[in-house]
Structures are given as C-alpha cells and as structure tokens.
Structure 1
Amino acid sequence: MSTGIILASHGEFAKAALGSAEMLAGEQKDVHALALTTDKSLDDLEKEVADAYADLSSRCDVVIALCDIYGGSPFNAVSRCMLKGMNMIGFTGLNLPILIDLLLSREISAEEVKEHVMSVHQQSISPIEVQLADDDEDIDL
C-alpha cells in the first residue's frame, strides 16, 4: 500500500509545511505542495491539483489531499477535482502534526485514513500550561 499526498494552500504555506515536515521525517517522495498565489486563478490551481492527482494516482494506491481552510480556493480546487471523479481523500485544516503523522504512516489503508487523521487532529492542538518556579528553583523544560 502506498500513499500519495497533495498539499494545497493559500500562499506558500503548503510548501513551507512540507519543508518543515521533511526536517523531522526526512526527504519525501510522492508529495505535491501547491500554492495559490496572487498570479493564479482558481482554475489554474484546479489544473495543478488535477495534474498532481494524475501523477500520484499512476503509482500510489491512495491519494490524500490536505487543504488549509474549509471553503477557501484550495478547498474548492480539490473539491472540483473530486466532483470530476478523482478518487482522493480530502481534508481541511492542514497542519504540521497531521502532515508529519501521514508522512510516517503511509502504509495505512484507505479505509483507515479518515479515522486516523481525525484522531491525530484531536491531539494536534492543546494548551501549553506552565507554572513559574520559585525564585530558588532552576527551570528545566
């Protein structure tokens, strides 16, 4: 089982997220990071998503698309491709914990992907709670 991943975002966020994830998970193959920039239209981004899907689906069993914002143009580009029959699993809320987890869990089955991502998502945000030490205590983090 192999998994291809499409990242789509406003600006360079998807590319930067992939770069950050690769610092922790190593260089990755079968990942396309797409950026909606001021010089691109929704149609341009949709074509990039379709091209990425064509490339990945030719050699991967599962294609997952992660977009930054629900209802945004990257979301719309992925949704249009899915409506045209491109068989990918789509999510919004692209963040580094989910991306790293997916990169390290690429042998997961299509049936397990949604539950797995939702589980990681629930854990990907939590408050930082610290307590100041007494003046005579050293702080170790």
Structure 2
Amino acid sequence: MTPACNLLKKKKIPFSVHEYEHDSQCTQFGLEAAQKLGLDPESVFKTLLVSDGKNLFVSIIPVTHTLSLKKAAAHFGVKKLVMANPNDAQKSSGYLVGGISPIAQKKALVTAVDQSAKALVSIYVSGGKRGLDIGLKPDDLIKACGRAQFADLIDES
C-alpha cells in the first residue's frame, strides 16, 4: 500500500484501487491510466506541482486539459507560477513523477482541484505510484488533501 492509500484508510475515506501495467515508454501517465483502466478521460485527473519561485502548490486537473498558470496564480494569490522542477516535485511530494498522488504528500501543500470535478460522482487520481490510480468522490479528495479547494484551473485557449 502507498502512503495515499494508507491515509485514506486511516481517515476512513472510501476509495477504490485501480491497477494497470504501466508502459515505461509512456510519458502521458494520466491518459495511459484512463485508456488502460477503461475510464472516461474527463474523470481521470493529473497532479501538477507549480512554483512561484519560493513555494510549491498543487493543481489537480483532468488529464484531457492543460493547466492555466495564470488562473492557478490568481487562485493561490501569487503573481506568477511556473511548472515545478521535477526533482523538486519528487522531493516535496515523496512520490515519483508520473505517480505523484495529491494525497499524503511528504510536505503538505496548498492544493486546488479543478471545479469540473464537482460535477462528477467519482474522480480518479494517482494512488502514489505509476500504474496505480484511486477512485473517490471529489469532496472526499478535498478532505483527504487537507488544505484543498475547488477552483477554475483549466486553460480555455
């Protein structure tokens, strides 16, 4: 079990586990998960770490979309954001890129989940390693992440 699964069990948050054989050549981790698990890609969310140069933040958006750094910066109350350095993301979260779960990260970060999640019964996020997703209710993801809120994060352009 991963730290994400252990935390959900500890908090008694219901979730489902979905495992698949990760293709080491694949870099589109979320889309691969949706395809291999037979899930609607709009319900599979990716965990992205962003930085304002000093602090890291977590943005969770559907795998079919691109993050609006401008919208995320406005939500987090900072001037500008860039994608976090992969090594910094791994060090802060305790997970490998492609398997970064928004749940039970080593360092608790301010987190935003795209508001499109609210319309779904269940969403799927990384369970903490490549080839493992977990399904849960959007409100339960907010609870599990601690310092999380829904926000408009998708780039519409």
TM-score by length of 1: 0.33
TM-score by length of 2: 0.30
Larger Cα-atom Rg: 1
